Structure 1
């Protein structure tokens, strides 16, 4: 049932990029974060078919400025928005067409920061959950990028949250590393 052949074929087609995070969308496409170590302004997220054909490239905003400096993790929310962890410290959200929606935390507009993001997940209500290893907390933001609450913190007994996932029952799962 599982096949690693598809993953290696896809990775071979993406040279000179380093593949980072990936997810399978509700439409059964694959979103892949691509980092080009030799060209800093050439980083992107691509949408691919399950057979590895590139269907969409998400790279620049309307002003032709790069959206990502180091895209690492990607997921899709219930609205079809694409949520990308960029350079461990920001989440960039674009709509299904690849148009920029918002960045969290937005410089100068948020009192919250992310210092070391290694996990992102979206729930059935459209909330985006973001782990911050350094501060040992999980942020919950709404589908428009507004901070809602810290879901888990050190006070809840969480330390160094790494990965995040939400199961079919709506339960949040995380990995903690020492």
Structure 2
């Protein structure tokens, strides 16, 4: 398995914990660095979210990028949009859709409005497809995401801790529904994962330390 350390070092270890290989991104290696790893079920590639904090009061700047590895070979870097602007503000979590889109939940630090988040979705070539902000008019739809995943129908699921909900949007960023709310037993969703084999959604709740399992897709509705 691949694991990340306290910086942008990546280690390949076996089941006994022995280090088999490692990879270091020298340009991003600095105090305050952070990495998040996602292994693609489509290609077998490893998508690595790398970021480092640059002191710049009152809110630190963040330099961030997504790097794709095939084995130990770096094959792609996603960092800028078509105009050369940074795609990400302060990314926290990464996943991938069945159509190859790379989905990142990105923190927004607003001094006046407080923290919130957005989804930044790029295609497999790294071009920005859309950015999803939720809604500021409905408190339940204001995004303060803690985790994201995708399901067998390429819908994007967003765990929203502040409103104790799980949002569902389609692959093009159109809001579909509040899939789960407090009425379904959600209390501060934090960790979330979708099981492609059983079509079950696993959601961890930080407020009551529970792990809940839901099913909303029947097997006959699964599109391969």
TM-score, with length taken from structure 2: 0.70
More strand per residue: 1 or 2? 2
The residue correspondences of 1:27-66 to structure 2 (distance < 5 A) are 27-38=43-54, 40=61, 42-51=63-72, 53-66=73-86
In 2: Cα distance, 1:151 partner to 1:45 partner: 29
Comparing both chains, which one has the higher relative contact order based on Cα–Cα distances under 8 Å and sequence gaps of 6 or more? 1
Which one of the candidate residues 87, 93, 102 is aligned to 1:73?
A: 93
Unaligned runs of 5+ in 2: 4-10, 14-18, 56-60, 108-115, 208-224
Residue number in structure 1 paired with 2:7: none
- 8 Å CA contact 2:62, 2:90 repeated in 1: no
Which one of the candidate residues 125, 133, 137 is aligned to 2:165?
A: 137
After superposition, give the CA deviation of every residue in 1:46-89 in whole Å (9 maximum; x if it has no partner).
111232x3211111111111100111110100000000011161
The residue correspondences of 1:1-178 to structure 2 (distance < 5 A) are 2=1, 5-6=11-12, 9-10=22-23, 15-16=29-30, 18-25=33-40, 26-38=42-54, 40=61, 42-51=63-72, 53-87=73-107, 89-105=117-133, 112-115=141-144, 117-167=145-195, 168-178=197-207
User: Cα–Cα, structure 1 residues 114 and 106, in superposed 2: closer, same or farther, change >3 Å?
Assistant: closer
Count of residues paired in the alignment? 174
Q: What is the root-mean-square deviation of aligned Cα atoms in Å? A: 2.3
- 8 Å CA contact 1:140, 1:148 repeated in 2: yes
Q: How far off is 1:11 after superposition?
A: 5.2
Q: How far off is 1:154 after superposition?
A: 1.0
Determine helix, strand or coil for the equivalent of 1:155: helix
TM-score, with length taken from structure 1: 0.87
Residue number in structure 1 paired with 2:8: none
User: Cα–Cα, structure 1 residues 149 and 3, in superposed 2: closer, same or farther, change >3 Å?
Assistant: closer
